[in-house]
Structure 1
Amino acid sequence: MSAFTVRPAVSEDGAGILALHRKVAAKPGGLARRPDEVTADYVAHAMAVADDGGVNLVAVDTDGTVCGELHVERMKVAIFAHVLTDLTVAVDPDWQGRGVGSALFRALIEIARTMTPPVGRIELWTGAANLGAQRLYQRLGFKIEGRMTGRGRYPDGSVDDDIVMGLLLD
């Protein structure tokens, strides 16, 4: 198994993040975006949220290739400023099951515990059919908090519910 490291994303990672997200989006159920929706502007926004109170992490292999990425933003309304939300994680299909997603989340949680102002909650949504992701998030301490019925509509017209999950930091 190849080694990888997790670190904050830097601007030079943009092309690698774009390639990763396009690859993951091409796999059914990989991302809540179609490959044509993964643009340079989408990646620029994901990277900008880290500069505006959020977090953007990458997992890179020993060659420096991006094999995973996670970004989350901080809510801007004062009453919710302790919340990290709109979380997206992408792991290269060739790297799935090798601990990349877990490592990205562990790094996020560690960073969130040190942020100012303090973060008290991390939230995410995942497709109801994505049981593997739900199990991973639960192993990391996230709790299922609800279900958003019919939230996602696929290109074939079928719909899927979103599962709302949250992690309270203590």
Structure 2
Amino acid sequence: MEITIREIKLEDATKLLQHTQLVFTQSTFLLTTPEEFTLTIERQRDWIEEQSKIGNYMLVAEDNGKIIGFLNASRSQRKRVSHNCMFGISIQKDYWNKGIGRKMIMKMLQWAESHPQIEKVLLEVFAHNERAIHLYQSLGFIEEGRKKKHIKFDDGTYIDEIIMSRFVK
């Protein structure tokens, strides 16, 4: 397995769309449900272009040209919170527990540390995603708060959403 981690390119739109469609079916750790995700290739391409223009940081993890992981770090556009950056990450189930998420997050943290405005990196994680929480803690993230019963599943059960952060400056 030869995994490459690199910044996204506009030409990745189709492969990113395929990755996203797949990961939404693979776990209960993501906010969007498969039926809610209706992005077209054109809209995916436009989104990548827009995110790049406003200076957001996007990484893909590839295995032999196939996107198997994605990370998006978005800096707030509002002046008073423009020192904050929020990120999300998704990795296909077949690639869990292989260190790919750690490598992607570490690369994003290096970007955030070198960015002149970013001082704090945040994320939101479902409380039942224990592996991810452990990873984030091992990288220096701490729990800042908890949204009680914020996520409701089809079967009527609830999960808290945890807000975690790490200062990079």
Gaps of 5+ in 1: none
1:92 corresponding residue in structure 2: 92
2:26 is paired with a residue whose SS is: coil
**How far, CA to CA, are the matches of 1:129 and 1:43 in structure 2?**
32
2:10–2:45 contact (8 Å) kept in structure 1 = no
1:113 is paired with a residue whose SS is: helix
2:79 corresponding residue in structure 1: 78
2:34 corresponding residue in structure 1: 35
Q: 1:47 to 1:57 in 2, by over 3 A?
A: farther
- Which amino acid in the other structure matches residue 102 of structure 2? S
Deviation string, structure 1 residues 130-150 (Cα, Å, up to 9, x no partner): 111100111111111111001
2:153 corresponding residue in structure 1: 154
Q: CA RMSD in A?
A: 1.7
- Which amino acid in the other structure matches residue 107 of structure 1? K
Q: 1:168 to 1:43 in 2, by over 3 A?
A: farther
Provide the TM-score with structure 2 as the length reference: 0.90
Q: Does 1:101 align with 2:101?
A: yes
Q: How many residues align?
A: 166
1:114 corresponding residue in structure 2: 114
Percent identity of the aligned residues? 25
**How far, CA to CA, are the matches of 1:46 and 1:90 in structure 2?**
16
Q: 1:47 to 1:122 in 2, by over 3 A?
A: farther
2:124 corresponding residue in structure 1: 125
1:24–1:30 contact (8 Å) kept in structure 2 = no
**How far, CA to CA, are the matches of 2:24 and 2:79 in structure 1?**
33
Q: Does 1:4 align with 2:3?
A: yes
1:162 Cα shift?
0.3
Q: Does 1:54 align with 2:35?
A: no
Q: 1:160 to 1:45 in 2, by over 3 A?
A: farther
